[in-house]
Structure 1
Amino acid sequence: MSKQTYYAPTGGHPPQDQLLTDRAMFTDAYAVIPKGTMRDITTSFLPHWVGTRLWVIARPLSGFAETFSHYIMEVSAGGGSDQPESDPEAEGVLFVVEGAVTLTIAGKRHVLEPGGFAYLTAGCTWTLHNHAGTEARFHWIRKAYEPAPGLDAPEPFISSDAEVTPTPMPGTEGRWATSRFVDPADLRHDMHVTIVTFQPGGVIPFAETHVMEHGLYVLEGKAVYRLNQDWVEVEAGDYMWLRAFCPQACYAGGPGPFRYLLYKDVNRHMPLRLSRR
């Protein structure tokens, strides 16, 4: 079995003689942030992170993401943080796409390589450093954890893409499957971060319209995605945000699998006062 690879941005800038041919879109129902927009000029920095820059591809904002933020982190050799998270109510997911990082949770060290996954409970103590000789890149998804009466908070855990057997969608002959890092029946969790895989020619042949807010980062391959009333071409490195109830469908194209990292908020009552978000 060949080693899994994932697309990650590297920054830089296009030459001055290049014409604008980008696919960026921002609407009330969805947004598309193509990989070509992730340049040096669009990076950000965080306090207490050394040798690190990031692309913020989703954040709580009126008319945009409501429940989460999503970063693509780039940590140079020797970089990292002993104080990575400033919000004690924020839970997080890390997914490594390039290089290797050393993640320490409550004093226990874990080395995460491409495909490595970590769930970080709100308020847990963790640090992250790049002890390798090359840059490391990983996704960091953050959400304010919503406790549920009578349920304990989940524990931190480590997993990987390679360790999780994809679950085929019924009736699809395995052409559409989801790698679930968390048991869907575990209602302690209020968000799911999964990897969705379509084999070439795989489809979502109906307009999915449901309550979860979505964030989709394309790890591999290409597809034509239906977002609200529009068909949009997407490929590895592109990001899509979908408001709750935004219709979506998909036709996977290209010679290989189409895979994306997917965020959804789940398992909680709908807030009746929007100011609580």
Structure 2
Amino acid sequence: MGYPKGLLESRAVFEQGKFAIIPPEGLVNNVLPEFENTTMSILGSPRLGARFADYIVTLHKGGKTTGFAGQEDVQSFVYVIDGKISASAGEEKHDLTQGGYLYCPPGVQMKFENAQDEDTKLFLFKQKYTPLEGGKKPWVVTGNTNDIKQEIYDDMENVLIQDLLPVDFAFDMNMHILEFKPTGNHPFVETHFQEHGAYLLSGEGLYNLDNKWFPVQKDDYIYMAPYCLQACYAVGRESISYIYSKDCHRDPEL
């Protein structure tokens, strides 16, 4: 990378236990033993205040993981931002291209490798699973967002959402893609029990975090803690969209 061309500065913002904005310019490579020929950075983690871990992963030619998650109480999810992978959930094999995703329930290890000579970019997630007493267990889910209909969000035709996992009590979380067309915005400033880790897939916007407004853009990562005030305005000439996790279907533990 060499010497900087100007002052050292960053758009990154971090307030412990509340929120964080992590732009790509400040990311450093994390080297993990389960990954080969890979450039990756850990984004969200318990050190940030999250109850999950998010990663941004670039698989180079021959890049792969020899095994991700798979512990009896840990679930995982991968989304293909660009490129293609050959993935497996235990013994199940799946070929995923741009927009493709794979969810592995607790106890099912995920593996994947780059299926092209060019780089492949992934968003990766893992989180401990909270079982539902007497309830059924989640199952392997795969699909492609290009095949999922966008639904109108809160009666606003220029804000669209996609659910990537089943809306079922067996699942204690979901993954969504939320898209704000130009001039789109949240209908109100949200304050809620759930937490989010969000990776911006396109566009530019202004994001309200704890009643402070910040500019955000494609390839930024945002962490939002429980009860952190949050809302978005789309700005610019293209939609702003992001993939994000949301915990659900479980009563607070006391």
Q: Same fold (TM over 0.5)?
A: yes
SS at match of 2:108: coil
Cα offsets for 1:92-126 (capped at 9, x unmatched): 11001122110022333211111111111111144
Q: Counterpart of 1:10?
A: none
Q: How many Å separate the matches in 1 of 2:55 and 2:115? A: 21
Q: How many Å separate the matches in 1 of 2:217 and 2:44? A: 18
- The correspondence for 1:66, drawn from 50, 71, 88, is 50
Q: How many Å separate the matches in 1 of 2:54 and 2:132? A: 24
More moved, 225-234 vs 19-28? 19-28
- The correspondence for 1:175, drawn from 147, 150, 158, is 158
More moved, 16-25 vs 91-100? 16-25
Q: Counterpart of 2:122?
A: 138
Residues 46 and 53 of structure 1 are in contact (CA less than 8 Å); yes or no, is this contact kept in structure 2? no
- The correspondence for 2:231, drawn from 249, 255, 270, is 249
Q: How many Å separate the matches in 2 of 1:86 and 1:177? A: 32
Pair 1:154 & 2:127 matched: no
Q: How many Å separate the matches in 2 of 1:96 and 1:134? A: 14
For residues 9-28 of structure 1, what are the structure 2 equivalents within 5 Å?
A: 13=1, 15-28=3-16
Cα drift, residue 47 of structure 1? 1.5
Cα drift, residue 86 of structure 1? 5.8
For residues 50-199 of structure 1, what are the structure 2 equivalents within 5 Å?
A: 50-61=36-47, 64-85=48-69, 87-172=71-156, 174-184=157-167, 186-199=168-181
Q: How many Å separate the matches in 2 of 1:151 and 1:224? A: 40
4+ residue runs over 4 A deviation: none
User: 1:31–1:125: structure 2 CA closer, same or farther, 3 Å change rule?
Assistant: closer
Pair 1:229 & 2:211 matched: yes
User: 1:171–1:85: structure 2 CA closer, same or farther, 3 Å change rule?
Assistant: closer
Q: Counterpart of 2:26?
A: 37
Structure 2 portions without partners, runs of 5+: none
Q: How many Å separate the matches in 2 of 1:75 and 1:171? A: 39
Q: How many Å separate the matches in 2 of 1:189 and 1:138? A: 22
Cα drift, residue 65 of structure 1? 3.0
Q: How many Å separate the matches in 1 of 2:93 and 2:70? A: 21
Residues 85 and 120 of structure 2 are in contact (CA less than 8 Å); yes or no, is this contact kept in structure 1? yes
Residues 70 and 110 of structure 2 are in contact (CA less than 8 Å); yes or no, is this contact kept in structure 1? no
Residues 172 and 247 of structure 2 are in contact (CA less than 8 Å); yes or no, is this contact kept in structure 1? yes
Residues 183 and 233 of structure 2 are in contact (CA less than 8 Å); yes or no, is this contact kept in structure 1? yes
Residues 205 and 250 of structure 1 are in contact (CA less than 8 Å); yes or no, is this contact kept in structure 2? no
User: 1:265–1:175: structure 2 CA closer, same or farther, 3 Å change rule?
Assistant: same
Cα drift, residue 55 of structure 1? 0.7
Cα offsets for 1:130-151 (capped at 9, x unmatched): 2311121101110001110121
Q: CA RMSD in A?
A: 1.6
User: 1:249–1:126: structure 2 CA closer, same or farther, 3 Å change rule?
Assistant: closer
- The correspondence for 1:217, drawn from 175, 185, 199, is 199
User: 1:114–1:56: structure 2 CA closer, same or farther, 3 Å change rule?
Assistant: same
TM-score calculated relative to the size of structure 2: 0.94
User: 1:246–1:26: structure 2 CA closer, same or farther, 3 Å change rule?
Assistant: same
Residues 97 and 115 of structure 1 are in contact (CA less than 8 Å); yes or no, is this contact kept in structure 2? yes
Is the strand fraction higher in 1 or 2? 2
Pair 1:270 & 2:249 matched: no
Look up the equivalent residue of 2:19 and give its one-letter code.
Answer: Y
User: 1:111–1:15: structure 2 CA closer, same or farther, 3 Å change rule?
Assistant: farther
